[in-house]
Chains A and B, each alone.
Chain A
Amino acid sequence: MIFSNKRSRQILRHAKPAGGSSSPNCHHLFSWYMIFNLTELLLFHRQEIMKWNGWGYNDSKFIYNKNGQAEFTGKRYRLSGMIIPGLRDWMESTFGATVQHKTPATPVLNTSAVQPPTLNEAFVEGIKSTGIPFSHDPEDRVFRSHGHCLHEIFPLREGKVGRVPDMVVWPKCHNDVVKTVELACKHNVCLIPFGGGTSVSSALECPPEETRSIVSLDTSQMNRVLWIDEKNLTAHVEAGIIGQDLERLLNESGYCTGHEPDSMEFSSLGGWVATRASGMKKNIYGNIEDLVVHIKMVTPRGVIEKSCQGPRMSTGPDVHHFILGSEGTLGVVTEVTMKIRPVPEYQKYGSVVFPNFEQGVACLREVARQRCAPASIRLMDNEQFQFGHALKPQVSSIFTSFLDGLKKFYITKFKGFDPSRLCVATLLFEGDREKVLQHEKQVYDIAAKFGGLAAGEDNGQRGYMLTFVIAYLRDLGMDYFVIGESFETSVPWDRVLDICRNVKARIVQECKDRGVQFQPLSTCRVTQTYDAGACVYFYFAFNYRGLSDPLHVYAQVEHAAREEILANGGSLSHHHGVGKLRKEWMRETVSDVGLGMLKSVKDYVDPNNIFGNRNLL
């Protein structure tokens, strides 16, 4: 059976906000998961409420309003409906991007630009007989043909569509997946698992050289929490569930996973497992590999899973680690047992201003040494600090703006911080109220040793908000000749400063060498701390006015930046994964033997390359 667009539109109309105010014990930044049950809505045609050629929800975006001021539309986010007075100036001064030079996106997908599907009739018949929903509607197929790399989104904005899946199937449970995979093996079609579609590694791109029929296996219908085990604090969840829904459902029972990657509004549990995701609050809850207790995956060879849920095992190499980070090359993750925790009693944001980035890094290093990192601690460099400043919404009262003025005066004049060098760390504490306050004091004491000044909860909160809206901001940039993206790495502590400096400088130099006419934005932040190192995020964007092939220039610069990362002792990826974008470096990353090991697993599990997205290897 094929679901029609009409029906989902009906559902949309009936949708109501699911919650009123934010829950009292979970003082969270955004109330997104209180408003909609995304998964219920996103039955099959996500493009109904999400952009097909940009980030996030259709109703949420940055625009310049009639008065020429930047505004964030919609109702979903704290920033929604607010005017952001500083943004336009920031865009102009940072990128030279003016309102006069516009590059609007094609509003509607021209379905005739989508190549007709290559269908494997036998497979289609087989799927029909199982009753698993499927579609070959062009919009459905295009939506599942890409992640969110610049080179994936940019052509879509111009209405250009490349190779897309020929068909989409929506299995509703583990057994549906088993049937689908069996059929795919039998009829030799290529399967590409699709979760939240938030990949930034070209992982979802259909290999152009693939001649078989490509079927996108959309896991979104496998979205139930199957059981919660309060004795062991675990939950058994279908892998298609979207992050915000998982949290919401668990919250209803007083629990959470604590896994909050920046993409959690849209990304899926199965996707986290398949890419080795990392969450903002990993310091308390751990990364995905620490959180999973049991994984069930359907492969062309059959189903792989462990026989028990023991918390740790010495049974040879952990087979979970073949699955974690397999990026859809071995099979589909269908069900996961995950650790859960009671929802924390108390949450508190915070921020610290440092005179310079060096001091900030030294402080984070000390916090890591003393193993007292809060749930989240992030350090933004000066450029990002300024960016965060530009994103301040219009202040409501004179009193607040007076206070802001005072703060600024205190920091720059009284304390002598150079506004062009200072940087900010944002903090998030979580747990018992008493412990949080104690912990907070400990961290601020350490910060003081490195010249850090507490800079209030507000700044902290805004810092985390930035993470969620920055993806929307890229769409605004693309409306005005600005393209950009972020990428990440992990690096030993002694290398952090060097890698930040060198990669940022390399980006600037490469832009110059490649004829970019405007100064690029090249900025970074330290987003995670570990015992032996940190995760560093780079943001890079530039105004491409005057370039004939901006995407190519972008790709070259990003490539050079990655080379620079590797030359400075950084890893190929901390949590975005390899996909197809970074696989050229896999061999040097894991050595010949390492690559051979991975290949031999692939050869055994999937000899006919049914899971043919060609990621990783």
Chain B
Amino acid sequence: MASRAVYVHRDPMLKKRDDFEDILEERRHSSDLRYALKCYTPVLYKGLSPCRASELKSMVLQSDQLQYVINQVSKEMGRTAEEVQAEASTILDEMAHRLQISTVRFFAFTLSKIFKTLFRSICVNEEGIQRLQQAIHEHPVILLPSHRSYMDFLLMSYVLYTYDLSVPVIAAGMDFMGMKIVGEMLRMSGAFFIRRSFGGDKLYWAVFSEYVQIMVKSGFAPVEFFLEGTRSRTAKSLTPKLGLLNIVIDPFLKGEVFDISLVPVSISYERVLEEALYARELLGVPKPKESTSGLFKARKVLSEDYGSIHIYFGQPVSVRALAEGKVNRCQFNLTPRHIPRKPGEEIQSFVNDLAYRLVRSQEENMVLTPWVLLAFLLLQNQAVGNERGMSLDELTEQAAWVRDLSRQFGAFLHWPDQLPPSKVVSSSLSLHRGLVRISDGRVQLALGQEMPHSAMTSEEELLNRAVIILSCASYRNQALHLFIRPALLAVAIQAASSNKKQEVYNSFSFLWNMFSNEFILCPGAAVQDFEEACYLLVKSGALQISQQEILVSGRGHRTLAFLANILDPFLEGYQMVCRFLYEATEGLTEKQFVPAVRKFIIKHLLTGRLRYAEVLSSDLQKNALAALLRLGAVQKLKGGEEQGALKVNKVIVNSLEDTLGGKLPTQKALVARL
């Protein structure tokens, strides 16, 4: 049964997680062909009205919902209903999947071959699979995997096929359609394609939402999509997109199904295939357009070792249980349910909370490898300018310390305790040879070229270093969710003018607010997050908290310093963005923002005034801008010739920069204004 709440555990130490089973193990010992041709009889939804993929189309086109919009559009545009209907039909053809089992079997065979060469193991929690199986039988199921790689949805279908569960239908971005053969193959294995943006297109929206809802309502197959909307290039979870989530829970809110189970799935890669690609993209090398030939060029990835993958199927979340007391379903009583209308405030905030909860539960069930912890240490070491790196012993000692801390914070850490820590550290390092250099028993990031290239400009050199740093940061980012709240508190304690709890909270709340586009921080939950951070730090012995005051304990300094260090690159990045905007000329548009700020930051990096090359990440820059827009420090002008131009409130931007830099105390007034 679906759990009543996603986030139930108060004490992270008590979090119970399932064991894993390696599904490649069997593939290495038995015939892939037989596996691909096995008898496949998945459990179906008990309320299933059986229909084939091709029948979905006419169901969509004849639905009251779509007919209503078709009539509306035809009246508004002065076109005949038939024309609009034909357009809807075309949209649907472009969108629809053609799920068929033979293609799934083909993929099962090919992927077995590929996965066996790429990965050491693919580990799945079988209890999660059992829960999923039951959920599929009881209610329509929505699968919500994290999105770190193109591999994600192939993996999902592969795993479900392996366990004899219904393969899902998957909402995929239109960009895949560009790959001719592959696009069609994906379509036949259950992918349906949606345009990246269709904001104003009423008809497109209607066709799309009806198509998805009919699949949900009829229990055709589990519907899968990515809450984060796109692959996270930084390995940090992205702020969830609400469009599809709104669509899939609508049938529940309108009473068309009894309940819907949302199943968060966490897919963690020991090494992401796209590792270096992502870093380049963040640094401004645009992402190559997906094409079939491009995929073949990527063949060389096949020769490398990508370690293990862990797939964790989380507790199914009952939308009904979560909506209880939050959404009054009577609101649909007075208008026909097929007439589209914007979700009210109540529903919007419910869906928003729901989305954050789901992303958080994805985060919580991500398996962290020892390398992730090493990435923290190596990056911090690099940032203090230690040219010689760390000795292996020192690294091992610190790694063991971070391991203990992270466990206290409830990390889902796969640290082989049976091995001596030094073994664990060295084997982690060897898997990531491309990122670290070990010489004379000392470890550091592989930043400098072995043989300095004279032809390289200092800017190119900087970008090359940044690629390594961003790649490494993407591993560190996998565990950011674990430390983010305590880290915000650590910085807040440093920044607060006194150790009064209220002062610290003001400071915390400022930072929390500032960074809520950067990290997964549920809107409106600042107080809860503060309490959670306090709880964790008290429990780990770093803080003592009385009614009024927050005191750092003797051994807490190391913890707090480590935590505060985590946020440093972000603080520096946000300050740089503020500085840039403060100095920016009039008429800067949103489009020009990233290249301009990058240029600005490169200039500063080259003068050696900045410590973190990470601030070059366009993700960080965009998040900072989004935060400033949200806080009203910057406004986007609409209409006229200045379309998209950014209007900067220099006073606020300046004071934000100073506050972030610790030059200004967090005044109540400033917090209040935000």
Q: Residues of A with Cβ closer than 8 Å to B?
A: 494-495, 498-499, 501-502, 505-506, 566-569, 588
**Which chain A residue lies CB-closest to B336?**
A494
Tell me if A501 and B337 are in contact (CB < 8 A): no
Task: Tell yes or no: B7 within 8 A of A by CB.
Answer: no
- Write out the residue numbers on chain B whose beta carbons fall within 8 Å of the beta carbon of A499: 255
CA distance A498 to B257 in the complex (A): 7
Task: Tell yes or no: B330 within 8 A of A by CB.
Answer: yes
- Write out the residue numbers on chain B whose beta carbons fall within 8 Å of the beta carbon of A506: 258
Tell me if A569 and B336 are in contact (CB < 8 A): no
CA distance A568 to B254 in the complex (A): 8
CA distance A569 to B337 in the complex (A): 11
CA distance A502 to B258 in the complex (A): 5
Contacts A567-B330, A568-B329, A588-B330; A494 near B258 (Cβ below 8 A):
no
Known: A494-B336, A569-B333. 18 other contacts (CB 8 A): A498-B254, A498-B255, A499-B255, A501-B47, A501-B258, A502-B255, A502-B258, A505-B258, A506-B258, A566-B330, A567-B255, A567-B328, A567-B329, A567-B330, A568-B329, A569-B255, A569-B330, A588-B330
Q: Which interface residue of B258, B328, B329, B332 has the most chain A CB atoms within 10 A?
A: B258
- Write out the residue numbers on chain B whose beta carbons fall within 8 Å of the beta carbon of A568: 255, 329
CA distance A588 to B332 in the complex (A): 14
CA distance A392 to B530 in the complex (A): 67
Q: Please report which residues of chain B, range 37-58, place their CB below 8 angstroms from some CB of chain A when the two chains form the complex.
A: 47
CA distance A499 to B328 in the complex (A): 16
Shortest C-beta distance, B253 to chain A (Å), equals: 9
- Write out the residue numbers on chain A whose beta carbons fall within 8 Å of the beta carbon of B332: 569
Tell me if B333 and A498 are in contact (CB < 8 A): no
Task: Tell yes or no: B304 within 8 A of A by CB.
Answer: no
- Write out the residue numbers on chain B whose beta carbons fall within 8 Å of the beta carbon of A494: 336-337
CA distance A505 to B330 in the complex (A): 18
B: number of interface residues (CB 8 Å) = 13
Task: Tell yes or no: B256 within 8 A of A by CB.
Answer: yes
**Which chain A residue lies CB-closest to B4?**
A513
Closest 6 interchain pairs by CB?
A: A567-B329, A505-B258, A568-B255, A569-B333, A498-B255, A502-B258
Shortest C-beta distance, B145 to chain A (Å), equals: 28
**Which chain A residue lies CB-closest to B49?**
A358
Shortest C-beta distance, A590 to chain B (Å), equals: 13
- Write out the residue numbers on chain A whose beta carbons fall within 8 Å of the beta carbon of B333: 569
Contacts A566-B330, A568-B329, A588-B330; A495 near B258 (Cβ below 8 A):
no
**Which chain A residue lies CB-closest to B327?**
A567
CA distance A569 to B255 in the complex (A): 9
- Write out the residue numbers on chain A whose beta carbons fall within 8 Å of the beta carbon of B337: 494
- Write out the residue numbers on chain B whose beta carbons fall within 8 Å of the beta carbon of A501: 47, 258
Q: Please report which residues of chain B, range 611-665, place their CB below 8 angstroms from some CB of chain A when the two chains form the complex.
A: none
- Write out the residue numbers on chain B whose beta carbons fall within 8 Å of the beta carbon of A505: 258-259
Shortest C-beta distance, B172 to chain A (Å), equals: 31
CA distance A501 to B332 in the complex (A): 17
Q: Residues of B with Cβ closer than 8 Å to A?
A: 47, 254-256, 258-259, 328-330, 332-333, 336-337
Shortest C-beta distance, A582 to chain B (Å), equals: 15
- Write out the residue numbers on chain B whose beta carbons fall within 8 Å of the beta carbon of A567: 255, 328-330
CA distance A566 to B333 in the complex (A): 9
Tell me if B255 and A495 are in contact (CB < 8 A): yes
CA distance A499 to B256 in the complex (A): 9
Shortest C-beta distance, A479 to chain B (Å), equals: 33
CA distance A495 to B258 in the complex (A): 13
CA distance A498 to B254 in the complex (A): 9
CA distance A502 to B255 in the complex (A): 7
Shortest C-beta distance, A376 to chain B (Å), equals: 28
- Write out the residue numbers on chain B whose beta carbons fall within 8 Å of the beta carbon of A566: 330
- Write out the residue numbers on chain A whose beta carbons fall within 8 Å of the beta carbon of B328: 567
Shortest C-beta distance, A356 to chain B (Å), equals: 10
Q: Which interface residue of A494, A495, A567, A588 has the most chain B CB atoms within 10 A?
A: A567
Shortest C-beta distance, B260 to chain A (Å), equals: 12
**Which chain B residue lies CB-closest to A569?**
B333
Q: Which interface residue of B255, B259, B336 has the most chain A CB atoms within 10 A?
A: B255
Shortest C-beta distance, B595 to chain A (Å), equals: 52
**Which chain B residue lies CB-closest to A588?**
B330
**Which chain A residue lies CB-closest to B333?**
A569
List 19 A-B residue pairs with CB atoms under 8 Å apart, sorted by A's residue number.
A494-B336, A494-B337, A495-B255, A498-B255, A498-B256, A499-B255, A501-B47, A501-B258, A505-B258, A505-B259, A506-B258, A566-B330, A567-B255, A567-B330, A568-B255, A569-B255, A569-B330, A569-B332, A588-B330
**Which chain B residue lies CB-closest to A570?**
B333
- Write out the residue numbers on chain A whose beta carbons fall within 8 Å of the beta carbon of B47: 501
**Which chain B residue lies CB-closest to A512?**
B1
Shortest C-beta distance, B535 to chain A (Å), equals: 30
- Write out the residue numbers on chain A whose beta carbons fall within 8 Å of the beta carbon of B258: 501-502, 505-506
- Write out the residue numbers on chain A whose beta carbons fall within 8 Å of the beta carbon of B336: 494
- Write out the residue numbers on chain A whose beta carbons fall within 8 Å of the beta carbon of B254: 498
Shortest C-beta distance, A135 to chain B (Å), equals: 47
CA distance A282 to B403 in the complex (A): 75
**Which chain A residue lies CB-closest to B323?**
A567
CA distance A494 to B337 in the complex (A): 9
CA distance A568 to B252 in the complex (A): 10
- Write out the residue numbers on chain A whose beta carbons fall within 8 Å of the beta carbon of B330: 566-567, 569, 588
**Which chain B residue lies CB-closest to A356?**
B49
Q: Which interface residue of A494, A499, A569 has the most chain B CB atoms within 10 A?
A: A569
Shortest C-beta distance, A508 to chain B (Å), equals: 10
Shortest C-beta distance, B277 to chain A (Å), equals: 47
CA distance A412 to B38 in the complex (A): 33
Shortest C-beta distance, A442 to chain B (Å), equals: 27
CA distance A588 to B333 in the complex (A): 12
CA distance A588 to B329 in the complex (A): 13
CA distance A498 to B255 in the complex (A): 6
CA distance A505 to B258 in the complex (A): 7
Shortest C-beta distance, A498 to chain B (Å), equals: 4
**Which chain A residue lies CB-closest to B258?**
A505
**Which chain B residue lies CB-closest to A568?**
B255
CA distance A495 to B330 in the complex (A): 12
**Which chain B residue lies CB-closest to A506?**
B258
CA distance A502 to B256 in the complex (A): 8
**Which chain B residue lies CB-closest to A508?**
B258
- Write out the residue numbers on chain B whose beta carbons fall within 8 Å of the beta carbon of A588: 330
CA distance A567 to B255 in the complex (A): 8
CA distance A588 to B561 in the complex (A): 56
**Which chain A residue lies CB-closest to B329?**
A567
- Write out the residue numbers on chain A whose beta carbons fall within 8 Å of the beta carbon of B259: 505
CA distance A365 to B458 in the complex (A): 78
CA distance A535 to B329 in the complex (A): 20
- Write out the residue numbers on chain B whose beta carbons fall within 8 Å of the beta carbon of A495: 255
- Write out the residue numbers on chain B whose beta carbons fall within 8 Å of the beta carbon of A502: 255, 258
CA distance A527 to B119 in the complex (A): 62
Shortest C-beta distance, A516 to chain B (Å), equals: 15
**Which chain B residue lies CB-closest to A504?**
B258
Shortest C-beta distance, A473 to chain B (Å), equals: 28
Shortest C-beta distance, A5 to chain B (Å), equals: 52
Shortest C-beta distance, B254 to chain A (Å), equals: 8
CA distance A494 to B333 in the complex (A): 11
Q: Which interface residue of B47, B328, B329, B332 has the most chain A CB atoms within 10 A?
A: B329
Shortest C-beta distance, B219 to chain A (Å), equals: 12
CA distance A533 to B310 in the complex (A): 52
CA distance A478 to B256 in the complex (A): 35
Shortest C-beta distance, A418 to chain B (Å), equals: 12
Shortest C-beta distance, B344 to chain A (Å), equals: 15
CA distance A215 to B330 in the complex (A): 40
- Write out the residue numbers on chain B whose beta carbons fall within 8 Å of the beta carbon of A498: 254-256
CA distance A494 to B255 in the complex (A): 11
Shortest C-beta distance, B199 to chain A (Å), equals: 30
Shortest C-beta distance, B471 to chain A (Å), equals: 48
CA distance A138 to B333 in the complex (A): 48
Shortest C-beta distance, A365 to chain B (Å), equals: 14
CA distance A499 to B257 in the complex (A): 10
CA distance A498 to B329 in the complex (A): 13
CA distance A506 to B320 in the complex (A): 10
